[in-house]
Chain A
Amino acid sequence: MLGLEKRDTLLLIVVACLVTFAPILLNPFPADSSMAQFNAGYPDLMQRFVIFGIFAIGFNILFGLTGYLSFGHAAFLGVGSYSAVWMMKLLTMNVIPAIALSVIVAGLFSVLIGYVSLRRSGIYFSILTLAFAQMSFNLAYSVLTPITNGETGLQITLNDPRILDGAGAPSYPNLFGAQMNEATTLFFGGWSFTFSVGYYLCAVIMLISFYLAIRIFRSPFGMMLRAVKSNQQRMNYTGLNTKPYTLAAFVISGMYAGLAGGLLASMDPLAGAERMQWTASGEVVLMTILGGAGTLIGPVLGAGFIKYFENIFSKINKATLEGWFAFMPDGIEEFFVAIIYPFVGKGWHLTLGLLFMMVVIFLPGGLVEGGQRIGKMFRRRDRKSSDAELSAAQQRQVPPAE
């Protein structure tokens, strides 16, 4: 189906189902229960899941396939965001031109940076990309303020020209009139599920991106990229020019980043300079490795994992904890609160750091490998399932050629 092999089609269908029903799946706890803190099914976070999923999928096309570790991909995300907001300021609040422009601008920007940076490999390449991104960030924060609005970030205002929009046009990013912040909430007993326009737009775009990524992974081009990672010398002596292959991968992943940036700005019309900081670039690296570099679904899982901690764990405060353990006797309650408190709220970084270490120590293939191990326990030695994901995870452990 769709030019995919059976197992890839299956993966795509599973992902499509998960994404479609995410508003329900991510809200497993009744809204009034004390566990509702762990619900992630509200529009903003779901949008972030899929948008950063797109970012990580794109990054994985570069890093997972070619092995080139870019430490400056956030620059493309930031550039995409700025382009989108400018489009919404100048032309129209419709998100289509904004997103299109963000992809194009990020693509052009990545051609420029990629062309220069790809003259080096290994860590020299990483540092070149890092240097370009940090330059972009520092300039966006200070001297480029007329374009970027510096520290505050670029916002839309009431008196922007918006020459294509008529008088009655919506003042919020919209898709032909359907505003991104529109939502409807369904109540089902104690549960509540919020379906938002913005999320479903992101979801559709994410599924398209994911589908394209599968096509790229399985295409001859994708194979060439993996060959670049494996042995550049052999590539050269097989008559293949590695430079355009790596540059193409770089630009594709840059465009994915731009798309993610454009979507971020469409969901919430603000483009902040921090989006380009090295920590943001590092975050997508972590997402990809955490989920499983070189696998199809891994980066999406990694993105979800990190965003979940950032948004859910940081909001647990002492009062919430006391609420959970209120059923216990006083002394024990205080004991549990004292034990857990350093790991949540302002300590969410600590939990994240510990989990990074645990995952990389115990699951060398990332979260995907964890999923496979669980899957294996249920499947009972189903050797034939030569899962593409598994093989990708294993590939990473093959020691380099002699």
Chain B
Amino acid sequence: MSIFNPTRRGLIQTGVVAGAGLALPTYLRADAHSGFTNAPTGDTVTLGFNVPQTGPYADEGADELRAFQLAVEHLNGEGDGGMLQTFSSKALEGNGIMGKKVQYVSGDTQTKSDAARASAKSMIEKDGAIMISGGSSSGVAVAVQGLCQEAGVIFMAGLTHSNDTTGKDKKANGFRHFFNAYMSAAALAPVLKQLYGEDRAAYHLTADYTWGWTQQESIQAATEALGWSTVNDVRTPLAATDFSSYIAPVLNSGADVLILNHYGGNMVNSLTNAVQFGLRDKQVNGKNFEIVVPLYSELMARGAGENITGIVGSQNWDWKLENEKGARYAGTNAFVQSFGEKYGFPPSQAAQTCYAQTLLYADAVARGGSFNPCAVGEALAGFEFDGLGNGPTLYRADDHQCFKDVVVVRGKENPENEYDLVEIVEVTPAEQVTYPTDHPMFAGGDLGECNPGA
């Protein structure tokens, strides 16, 4: 199983066995050397799905897990095949991955980098997982990505939006399908200009940790490029539940737009608080006061209820995309269909990214012809594909980031049900959100060499 370094194995083996006072009978043998960590030996292959199951993001984690289960079914040829029908690459045949039946193990990240790493380690060390996926925060994604790099397995990031994941903390063994803070800002900027004009003064409330900072930095740069001014940027404690003392001064600050660089529970509470203060009913500088939430989480938006009405934000994907924006987003309906049939409600963007990542991994193995992380990495790097619901997409080789269209959404006036909270305002094409590899917001990192482990 988990032999990370072959060179010293002999030494350790004798040391430990002698230390334990055991002779080594002939029927005991060390693991066959396969060239990479957790090489699947039997007729099955194990994937590790590491999602938050406790804590504030448990529901998002549950949705990710549903998508993973669905992807495993489709890979093994069960169900209707979902996006496998629309996926541009046809390397997958519905017989598992390279003929090996796909099994999975799941774990709880608790949305803490420590716990997430412990859980991922147990998948690698105990269950022999060859790929780890999932997660719902950038801290966790970066921590687990680092672990996978060291251990020599592939990490297919789940929901992680910080620039750092494929910026300064990028790793050769890690891949991100989800979009990032820069892309959110770049996608939102033209829409904001169109909706609210060029002469606006923005007030930022920013969650005081790395994701919040990169989000704030990105959106500030993008809005200032439009001609907006930035009145203030206030950092709010992560643990804050009541944002009233941060929101109270906003109306008097001269700002006419409030940008909430918050996610999840923070976003629900700060948005709810802002609406309570009546900000949306006010006029400042002769304009209607507006609120912007750069990163939408549909699941959490439910928690804010009707407070999200008319609030603009961005998403990686939305389940109505193909219906409203046409066949460019093929795959969306196929996925929504099979997810909806199985679970009774439409999938979230977290579910979509996790599903797509699983398929992308399996496809790369099939195309590369090996489970070896280096072969998989090579197959994924620079891979152009379509039919996974986001339109034509590129997995850029330089930083392992996917480049695709970004959906700009707005809270619906009269939602029909709790899954239909947002309407699609615009889809910003991939070219507009693409940035050069050496963009300063992504500087400082190094992919390094791919690590196949043992």
Contacts and interface: CB of A to CB of B under 8 A. Distances in A.
Interface in A146-163: 149-153, 155, 157-159
Interface stretch (B231-239, B253-261, B296-304, B340-348): B231-239
Contact of A181 (B146, B150, B208): B150
Contacts of B69: 319
Contact of A197 (B12, B24, B118, B446): B12
Contact of A145 (B62, B107, B210): B210
B125 A194 contact: yes
A274 B28 contact: no
Interface string B307-341: 00000000000000000000000000000000000
A372 interface: no
Given A45-B122, A141-B209, A317-B106, A152 B5 contact: no
A270 B146 CA distance: 9
A165 interface: no
Interface string A21-53: 100000000000000000100111100100000
A158 B446 contact: yes
A240 interface: no
B127 to A, nearest CB: 8
B114 A153 contact: yes
B209 A178 contact: no
Contacts of B53: 314, 345-346, 348
A194 B2 contact: yes
Given A142-B237, A150-B209, A152-B113, A185 B446 contact: no
B30 interface: yes
Contacts of A143: 208
A20 B18 CA distance: 12
Interface in A307-321: 310-311, 314-315, 317, 319
B31 interface: yes
A179 interface: yes
Contacts of A39: 126
Contacts of B195: none
A182 interface: yes
A310 B30 CA distance: 30
Contacts of A200: 16, 19
A195 interface: yes
Contact of B12 (A44, A195, A319): A195
A42 B123 CA distance: 10
B149 to A, nearest CB: 10
A315 B105 contact: yes
A184 B12 contact: yes
A195 B15 CA distance: 10
A152 B210 contact: yes
A272 B140 CA distance: 10
Given A21-B20, A348-B54, A185 B1 contact: yes
Given A272-B113, A275-B114, A152 B164 contact: yes
B283 interface: no
A179 B7 CA distance: 11
B8 interface: yes
B114 A270 contact: yes
B36 interface: no
B164 A178 contact: no
A50 B407 CA distance: 48
A184 B30 contact: yes
B169 interface: yes
Nearest to B151: A181
A346 B54 contact: yes
B119 interface: yes
A141 B20 CA distance: 43
B8 A274 contact: no
Nearest to B137: A151
B400 interface: no
A358 interface: no
A109 interface: no
Contacts of A179: 4-5, 8
Contacts of B8: 177-179, 182
A169 interface: no
Nearest to A153: B113
Contact of A185 (B2, B27, B114, B239): B2
Contact of A151 (B27, B139, B235): B139
A310 to B, nearest CB: 7
A152 B147 contact: no
Given A48-B118, A194-B125, A274-B112, A151 B138 contact: yes
A192 interface: yes
Nearest to A177: B8
B448 interface: yes
B143 A158 contact: no
Contact of B208 (A42, A141, A177, A319): A141
A349 interface: yes
B71 to A, nearest CB: 13
A138 B58 contact: no
Nearest to A195: B16
A268 B121 contact: yes
B121 to A, nearest CB: 4
A348 B108 contact: yes
A188 to B, nearest CB: 6
B90 interface: no
B237 A194 contact: no
Nearest to B65: A317
B3 A184 contact: yes
Interface string B126-156: 1000000000011100110011001100000
B439 interface: no
Contacts of A155: 142-143, 146, 169
Contacts of A317: 65, 105-106
Contacts of A44: 118, 121-122, 125-126
Contacts of A195: 12-13, 16-17, 20
Contacts of A177: 8
A346 B209 contact: no
A172 B8 CA distance: 13
Interface string B215-246: 00000000000000000000101110000000
Most central of A183, A189, A275 by chain B CB within 10 Å: A183
B74 interface: no
A149 B1 CA distance: 32
B385 interface: no
Contacts of B448: 158
A349 B143 CA distance: 23
B117 interface: yes
A42 B126 contact: yes
A380 B244 CA distance: 65
Closest 8 CB pairs of A and B: A346-B53, A151-B139, A44-B121, A42-B126, A314-B108, A151-B209, A142-B208, A195-B16
Interface of A: 20-21, 39, 42-45, 48, 138, 141-143, 145, 149-153, 155, 157-159, 172, 177-179, 181-189, 192, 194-195, 197, 200, 268, 270, 272, 274-275, 310-311, 314-315, 317, 319, 345-346, 348-349
Given A45-B118, A315-B105, 19 more contacts: A39-B126, A138-B239, A142-B235, A142-B238, A145-B209, A152-B142, A153-B114, A155-B143, A178-B12, A179-B4, A181-B5, A185-B3, A185-B31, A189-B27, A194-B125, A272-B143, A311-B119, A348-B108, A349-B54
15 contacts: A39-B126, A42-B122, A45-B126, A177-B8, A179-B8, A183-B4, A186-B30, A194-B2, A195-B17, A268-B147, A274-B112, A314-B54, A314-B119, A317-B106, A319-B69
